[in-house]
Amino acid sequence: MSATKELKEVLTMRTEIVGLARAMIKCCRKVEGVADAVDIVGTGGDGANTVNISTGASILAAAAGAKAAKQGNRSSSSACGSADVLEALGVNIDLDPLFYPRAK
């Protein structure tokens, strides 16, 4: 494959990824009051039966003083997903989005 063709494919992929990201952002609900929060997520669903570490990393970041937002789901291919871990810790994961800015 020529360098020109490879570059064209990379640029096309970049354009598609940027377009997808913009479309997703348009559809997302904006959560006010968490502009400086970190959001640590894992891949999930990798089929490799990996351990969920993103939730622990989020808790550690919050313990170190960071504003940590956590998103995730139930397990799809491993023992537990973020939602499973948080529920096991007693966290109410079924909150109305209007509550998020007040969550501390």
Model pTM above 0.75: no
Looking at every residue in the chain, the average pLDDT score rounds to 81
Output the pLDDT for position 64.
96
13 pLDDT more than 90: no
104 pLDDT more than 70: no
Output the pLDDT for position 35.
77
φ, ψ dihedrals at 97, nearest 5°: -55, -25
State the average pLDDT over residues 24-38.
Answer: 79
Residue 72, both tokens: 């995730």
Report pLDDT digits (tens) over 51-72: 788 899 999 999 999 988 887 7
The residue among 81, 96, 78 whose CA lies nearest residue 31 is 96
Domain regions of the chain by residue span: 1-30, 34-102
Q: How far apart are CA 88 and CA 71, in angstroms?
A: 15
